[in-house]
Each structure stands twice: as C-alpha cells, then as structure tokens.
Amino acid sequence: MQPTSPSTWSQRFESALHPSIAQFNASIGFDIELIEYDITGSQAHAQMLAHTGIISAKEGEQLVAGLEQVRQEYRRGEFTPGVDAEDVHFAVERRLTELVGDVGKKLHTARSRNDQVGTDTRLYLRDQITQIQHQVRSFQRVFLELAEQHVETLIPGYTHLQRAQPLSLAHHLLAYVEMAERDWQRLGEIYARVNLSPLGSGALAGTTFPIDRHYTAELLGFDRPYANSLDGVSDRDFAIEFLGAASLIMVHLSRLSEEVILWASEEFSFVTLKDSCSTGSSIMPQKKNPDVPELVRGKTGRVFGHLQALLVLMKGLPLAYNKDLQEDKEALFDAVKTVKACLEAMTILFEEGLEFRPARLNQAVAEDFSNATDVADYLAAKGVPFREAYNLVGKVVKTSLAAGKLLKDLTLEEWRSIHPAFEADIYAAIAPQQVVAARNSFGGTGFEQVRRAIEQTKERLSDASKDPI
C-alpha cells in the first residue's frame, strides 16, 4: 500500500501515515457536517486576530473573504475534501490557503483544532436545538388542534393496560402536549450551557498571543467564553445533556407510537391509518401496517445508545483533549437527525395520517365497567364511607359479570338491593359523558377542565416571546 504524505503536520514526521491508519484517523467523512460552522468560527477568529493587531486589518479581511469563498464553493458542490485532508478543519484551512495564498497560513495563529472543534460543535448544536424546538412547537400545535376537535370524544383510559376510567380524548392528547412542553423547556435550558465559547482556549493552556476571547464570543453570539481553558477544550457535558434531552423526546414519541400501534389494531380499532402514512404487506393483501410509529419506536434505541456511548466515552478521559473526543460527533449527528426525522414523521402522522373513530371510541367506553369508581363515588357522596362503598361495588361488578350485564343494565330494584341509598339518578351518574364531565378537579379530564387547559395551551403556544430566538 502507498503511504500518504505527511502534509498536514509539522516536519517532525519523517514518514507518511499508513493509508489504512490515515483512513482510520480521518474524521472528514462525518465532520464535514460542521463545515459551515467551522468557516463561521474561523471568520470570527480572523476578525479577532486583526482586531487585536496580531495580524493586519488587510490580512484579516483577506482571510474572512477567502473563507467566504470556501463556503460558496462548498455550497455549489465544488469543494469536496477527501481523506487526505484528515478533518474538516484542515480541509478548510488548506483550501483557504490555496485560494488566498500565504496569508491563509496565518489563520491558525493562537488557536488549536481542540478549541476549534469545540467551537464548531457548539455552533452546530445551538442551531440544531433551535430547529428542534420549532419542531416541538409544530407537534404541539397539531395536537392542540386535534384536542379542540375531540373534547367530547371519549376514549377508555387505562392503568396496567386494563380499562380504568373513561377520558376525554382531548385530555389524552393534551398529556403529550405537556410532555412536549417539558422537552421544549429542557432544550432551552441546555442551550444556555451549549452557548459558551471555548475558542481561544488553545490546545489546552491558552496562548501567548494577546487574543480577545470576549470579542470572538460576542461575534459568534456566545454568552461568554469558558472560564478555564482546560475545561473549554475537554468539556462535552453539553453534548451529553443534549443527548439526555433527545432521549426524553424519544421516550415520549415512543410511548405515543406504542399507543398508535395498539389503537390501529383490529382489537382496539380506535384509529384508522390513512394510506399516506401506512404501508402494505408483500404477502398479506389485507394488511395496513403502522410503519411510522414502529420505526419511531425502533429508532428510539439508537438515541439512547448515543447517550450511553458518550457517557462511557467521557468517563475515563484525563484532562484535556484526547482523540477519543472525535467519537462524539457521529453520536451527536445521528441523534440530531433521528430526533428531527421522528418529530417530523409523528407530526405528519397526527396532522394527516390517521383519523380517530369517535363512534367506535364512544361505544368502547359504554361497554365496560370503567364507571365502577363512579358508583362508589355516588355512594360516598351520599355518606357511605368510601372503602365500604368500594367493597359493595366490587361485589356488584362480580355479580354483573356473572350475569353478563353491564352496570347500566341493572334495575333500580337491583341497585336498591345493594344499598338503599341508590336512587333513579344513578343511571345519569354512570353514563360515560357524565362520568368524564364529573372529574372536574384541577388537571382532571372533566370537559370544563379540558376546555380550560386548551385555552391555556393556546395562549402559551401563541406567545411568540416564548419561542426560541
């Protein structure tokens, strides 16, 4: 095998890298994702070098303009660096020098790839966080709209996947809006810790040049520079925190997926999947499969894996930079892509890919014992101690089941034989609509509460000041 030439490092090296090792070492295959952030970061660095007099104003301008040219070439598809460039940082610097000549060699004054890669990764993640926050908002808006349509549609509520108490479908949907709200907030909180500048930390110890780290931090929109250069180049907490937030988004989407998969089954039949968001089977012509939620549920594991990978990556690293850190990127990039794709797919699914079946849902809640608690509550409201009422109703359910009857089918005599406190209004009290309406405690499924929750959510989502920058 032909060795590659030692083009990128100092003359200290006498022989070239083995081609397989060059390939093994290179990150250009994936860190090309950072190229525009690398260029932006380098432009700020060049401006700072000129601002502090480390290079001349003219040289600063040449570097900024040259970097802009590299950006345009990349956008036009004319700049496609290969393995020989090792990584995106070398690739950009090399192309810059080809374009602007020797002045390009001044760009790397007073910085290292260690603070450079940290800067690029933060600029990238900052953008991605904002984009994901917007996606979370779109997801919430679709759910809110659906909730408005389905305040009085009922759906069985489950605990232990056993019918528990009936719910307003809107209440069920709004639970996901709340989860998404925490996701949105969490991303915002993490943003504050992503938005610090390691630029100017140098390789690990700072630099002998009179740089101005506050200047570059400000140019790049960072809140402030890292206070400690060692921490600046070796901190990846922000990436782990993001992967934690991304994992929780996936937990929420995966739970929702599981529900849709159940709802779309013949057994539940709560939703119909539309052709635009379901697929057929190659062998069973009757099938319509919920591939979207299944894929989301499946992809969730990948994001958890990336979180785990980064935690393990970091736990044994001595300060400061170690090449292990190059491994953070694929995990981060894949998690970002996965979360974005899943949020988009689930938003589309609920916007236009499925339809709830109100008639079927309302019928479902009328055909079970999920109003049993309401019978106990009825007695308790008439002065029977709740535990005693609970035991009585347990017996009623048992005998009704044996007789193949539902509670609504019991005659008034039968009710009275259980307890004399029962009166004719028991039938209204256990009708599903009333059962739901009556749960009017704060945050409950009662229609009044749900309507209030919808109004409050609407207000929250329409407040532009609460949207990301």
Nearer to ligand ARG, 85 or 277 (CB): 85
CB of 86 to ligand ARG, least distance (A): 7
Q: Which residues contact 340 (CB under 8 A, 6 or more apart)?
A: 128, 131, 132, 135
CB of 105 to ligand ARG, least distance (A): 18
Q: Which of 247, 395, 242 is nearest to 328 (CA)?
A: 242
CB of 320 to ligand ARG, least distance (A): 10
Q: List, as one string, the DSSP characters of 329-355.
A: HHHHHHHHHHHHHHHHHHHHIIIIIEE
CB of 18 to ligand ARG, least distance (A): 17
Torsion of CA 393, 399, 403, 404, to 10 degrees: 50
Does 168 participate in catalysis according to the annotation? no
Q: What is the C-alpha separation between 447 and 441, in angstroms, rounded?
A: 10
Does 42 participate in catalysis according to the annotation? no
Phi, psi torsion values for 273, nearest 5 degrees:
-85, 135
> Which of the 8 DSSP states describes residue 247?
H
CB of 322 to ligand ARG, least distance (A): 8
Nearer to ligand ARG, 183 or 328 (CB): 328
Q: What is the C-alpha separation between 365 and 352, in angstroms, rounded?
A: 25
CB of 325 to ligand ARG, least distance (A): 5
Nearer to ligand ARG, 31 or 93 (CB): 31
Q: Which two tokens stand for residue 378?
A: 């009825």
Go through the chain and tell me how many residues it has: 469
Q: From the candidates 5, 7, 281, 417, give the one annotated as an active-site residue.
A: 281
Q: Which two tokens stand for residue 6?
A: 């030692």
Whether the Cβ atoms of residue 46 and residue 216 lie closer than 8 Å to each other? no
* β-strands 271-273, 224-225 pairing: unpaired
Nearer to ligand ARG, 112 or 278 (CB): 112
Whether the Cβ atoms of residue 184 and residue 122 lie closer than 8 Å to each other? no
Nearer to ligand ARG, 180 or 313 (CB): 313
Nearer to ligand ARG, 249 or 325 (CB): 325
Nearer to ligand ARG, 233 or 339 (CB): 233
Nearer to ligand ARG, 259 or 327 (CB): 327
CB of 199 to ligand ARG, least distance (A): 13
Q: From the candidates 160, 282, 441, 465, give the one annotated as an active-site residue.
A: 160
CB of 121 to ligand ARG, least distance (A): 8
Q: What is the C-alpha separation between 371 and 406, in angstroms, rounded?
A: 10
Q: What is the C-alpha separation between 74 and 68, in angstroms, rounded?
A: 10
Helix or strand holding residue 426 (H, E): helix 426-429
Residues of this chain that interact with ligand ARG (CB under 6 A) are: 27, 31, 87, 113-114, 117, 321, 323, 325-326
Whether the Cβ atoms of residue 412 and residue 389 lie closer than 8 Å to each other? no
Q: Which residues contact 26 (CB under 8 A, 6 or more apart)?
A: 83, 85, 86, 87
Q: List own/partner pairs for 144-147 with CB under 8 A and 24 or more apart.
A: 144/174, 144/177, 144/454, 144/457, 144/458, 144/461, 146/170, 146/173, 146/350, 146/356, 147/171, 147/173, 147/174, 147/177, 147/450, 147/454, 147/457
Q: Which residues does the annotation mark as catalytic?
A: 160, 281
